[in-house]
A and B are shown apart, each in its own frame.
Chain A
Amino acid sequence: GAGVSQTPSNKVTEKGKYVELRCDPISGHTALYWYRQSLGQGPEFLIYFQGTGAADDSGLPNDRFFAVRPEGSVSTLKIQRTERGDSAVYLCASSSTGVGGYTFGSGTRLTVV
C-alpha cells in the first residue's frame, strides 16, 4: 500500500484479556518496527524485524508481549493478560533503506479498562 496501515485504530479491552494489533508495512519494506507511546511521552522502542525474524526484541517490557511477522510483511503485536499500564498508542514503522527511510503508521490506541 501507499503507507503503513495499522488496525484497529482504537481498541478498548478489559484487564486480563488478550489483544492483537496488526501492522501492514509499505510493500517491499524489509524492516519493521514497533514502538509504544504512553501518554505524555515519546515513542519507546519495542521490537525490530528484518524480514521474518526478530532482529532485536530488547524493548519488549515482559513476556506478556510478543510479536510475529511470519511472511516478512504483515506483523502482529500480541499482548496477553493485558494490564491498565499497557494503555498506550502502539506505533508501527517500516523501512527499506535504513536511516531516513522510515514511514510510521497512525498507530493503534489501546485502552485497558
Chain B
Amino acid sequence: AQTVTQSQPEMSVQEAETVTLSCTYDTSENNYYLFWYKQPPSRQMILVIRQEAYKQQNATENRFSVNFQKAAKSFSLKISDSQLGDTAMYFCAFMIVTGNQFYFGTGTSLTVIP
C-alpha cells in the first residue's frame, strides 16, 4: 500500500520568514516521483515543485525547495521569504513511475501573517 502522511494540519508564518512543511511516505516501490501541490480557495491544485526519486539533488523552484531523504522516506517543503499569496492548503503527493494516480496526504493549511 502507498501512504502519505502530513503531520502538521495547520501552520503559520510571518511574512518574509521561512517555513518548512513536513511529509513522510511509505511505498515498496523504488521508482517514483514526489510532489508538493498548493490548493488555494479556488480549489484548483497547483503544482509547486516536483522531485524524481532517482535524483539525489534536491529540487528547487524559486522560493520553494525540498529536502528529500529517500532512506527515511521524507520529503519536506521549505518556503523562503513567505508571501501573503502563499496562504493555502499544501498537499504532499507521490506517483509510481509506472502508475497513473497520485497518492495525496491530508494536507497542511498554511497561513502567512502580515
A105 — which chain B residues lie within 8 A by C-beta? 44
Q: Are A107 and B33 in contact (CB under 8 A)?
A: no
Question: With A42-B93, A42-B106, A99-B95 in contact, is A48–B43 under 8 Å at CB?
Answer: no
Of the candidates B46, B101, B103, the one whose C-beta lies within 8 Å of that of A33 is B101
Q: Are B100 and A100 in contact (CB under 8 A)?
A: no
Q: Are A93 and B95 in contact (CB under 8 A)?
A: no
Cα-based distance from A35 to B37 in the complex (angstroms): 14
Q: Are B47 and A106 in contact (CB under 8 A)?
A: no
A40 — which chain B residues lie within 8 A by C-beta? 106-107
Smallest CB separation, B75 vs chain A (Å): 14
Within 8 A of B (CB), among A80-113: 89, 91, 93, 99-100, 102, 104-107, 109
B: contact size bracket: 20 to 34
Within 8 A of B (CB), among A54-79: 55-56, 59
Q: Which among B42, B104, B105 has the highest number of chain A CB atoms within 10 Å?
A: B104
A-B contact count (CB 8 A): 51
Give the interface SS of chain A, mostly helix, strand, loop or mixed.
strand
A91 — which chain B residues lie within 8 A by C-beta? 43, 45
Q: Which among A31, A91, A93, A99 has the highest number of chain B CB atoms within 10 Å?
A: A99
Of the candidates B33, B93, B100, B103, the one whose C-beta lies within 8 Å of that of A55 is B100
Question: With A42-B106, A99-B95, A100-B50 in contact, is A107–B100 under 8 Å at CB?
Answer: no
Q: List 10 A-B contacts (CB under 8 A).
A: A43-B104, A45-B103, A48-B100, A56-B101, A89-B43, A102-B47, A105-B44, A106-B42, A106-B43, A106-B44
Can you list the 8 inter-chain pairs with the closest CB atoms, starting with the nearest?
A42-B104, A45-B101, A104-B45, A107-B43, A106-B44, A106-B43, A48-B100, A42-B91
Chain A interface residues (CB < 8 Å from chain B): 31, 33, 35, 40-45, 48, 55-56, 59, 89, 91, 93, 99-100, 102, 104-107, 109
Chain B interface residues (CB < 8 Å from chain A): 4, 33, 42-47, 50, 91, 93, 95, 97, 100-107
